[in-house]
A and B are shown apart, each in its own frame.
Chain A
Amino acid sequence: MSESQYKVEVQGLTKNFGSLKVLNNISFNIKKGEFVCIVGPTGCGKTTFLNLLTRIYMPTKGDLLIDGESADPKKHNLAFVFQEPSALPWKTVEQNLRFGLELKKLPKAEINERVEHIIKLMGLEQFRNSYPHQLSVSTEQRIIIGRAFAMNPDLLLMDEPYGQMDIKLRFYLEDEVLRLWKETGATVLFITHNIEEAVYLAERVLILSNKPTTIKEDLEINLPRPRDVTSPEFIEKRQYVTDQIKWW
Chain B
Amino acid sequence: MNDSDKAAHRLSNEERIAKVQSEKRKNAFQLTMLSFIGVLAFLLIWQTAVAVGWLPSKYVPMPSEVVKLFFVKWTDPNPDGGVLAVHIASSLQVALSGFFLAIFIGVPLGLTMGWFKGFDSFMRPIFEILRPIPPVSWIPITIIWLGLGLKAKAFIVFFSAFVPCVINAYTGIRQTSETLINVGKICGASNFTIFRKIGIPSAMTMTFAGIRVALGNAWATLVAAEMLAANLGLGYMIQQGRQFARPDIIILGIVVIGLLGVIFTWLLGRVEGKVLGWKK
Q: Is there contact, CB below 8 Å, between B188 and A104?
A: yes
Is A143 positioned at the interface, with any CB of B under 8 Å from its CB?
Answer: no
Q: Check A86 against B183 for contact (C-beta < 8 Å).
A: yes
Minimum C-beta distance from B16 to chain A (A): 23
- A103 and B197 form a contact (CB under 8 A): yes
Q: A88-B201, A103-B193, A103-B197 are in contact. Are A131 and B278 (CB under 8 A)?
A: yes
Q: Does A158 reach chain B (CB closer than 8 Å)?
A: no
Q: How far is the CA of A83 from the CA of B198 in the complex (A)?
A: 19
Q: Does B182 contact A (CB under 8 A)?
A: yes
Asked if residues A73 and B187 are in contact (CB atoms below 8 Å), the reply is yes
- Kindly state whether residue A90 has any CB partner on chain B within 8 Å: yes
Flag B184-197 by CB within 8 Å of A: 1 or 0 each. Answer: 11111100010001
Q: Is A200 an interface residue (CB 8 A)?
A: no
Are A78 and B186 within 8 A (Cβ)?
yes
- Nearest-neighbour CB distance to chain B for A101, whole angstroms, equals 9
| Interface residues contributed by chain B, number (CB under 8 Å) | 19
For residues 33 through 74 of chain A, which have their beta carbon under 8 Å from a beta carbon of chain B?
Answer: 54-56, 72-74
B2 within 8 A of A: no
Is B78 part of the binding interface, using a Cβ–Cβ cutoff of 8 Å?
no
Docked pose: A6 CA to B189 CA in angstroms: 26
> Does B35 make an interface contact (CB < 8 A)?
no
Q: Determine whether B262 belongs to the interface, using a CB cutoff of 8 Å to chain A.
A: no
> For the complex, is A100 an interface residue (Cβ under 8 Å from B)?
yes
With A88-B201, A89-B278, A131-B278 as known contacts, state yes or no: A103 contacts B188, CB within 8 Å.
yes
- B182 — which chain A residues lie within 8 A by C-beta? 54, 56, 80, 82, 86
Residues of A within 8 A of B186 (CB): 54, 56, 73, 78-80
Confirm or deny: B4 has a beta carbon within 8 angstroms of a beta carbon on chain A: no
The residues of B that contact A74 with a CB separation of less than 8 Å are 188
Q: Does B12 contact A (CB under 8 A)?
A: no
Residues of chain B with a CB closer than 8 A to A86's CB: 177, 179-180, 182-183
**Which of B177, B180, B189, B279 is the one whose CB lies under 8 Å from A103?**
B189
Q: How far, in Å, is A59 (CB) from chain B's closest CB?
A: 16
Q: Which B residues between 172 and 220 are near A, CB-CB below 8 angstroms?
A: 177, 179-180, 182-189, 193, 197-198, 201, 204
A74 CA / B177 CA spacing, docked (Å):
21
A88 touching B198 in the complex, CB below 8 Å, given contacts A54-B182, A80-B183:
yes
Contacts of A90 in B (CB 8 A): 201, 204, 276, 278
27 residue pairs of the A-B complex, CB under 8 angstroms, read A54-B182, A54-B186, A56-B186, A73-B187, A74-B188, A76-B188, A78-B186, A80-B182, A80-B186, A82-B179, A82-B182, A84-B179, A85-B179, A86-B177, A86-B179, A86-B180, A86-B183, A88-B198, A89-B278, A90-B204, A90-B276, A91-B278, A99-B197, A100-B183, A100-B187, A103-B184, A103-B189
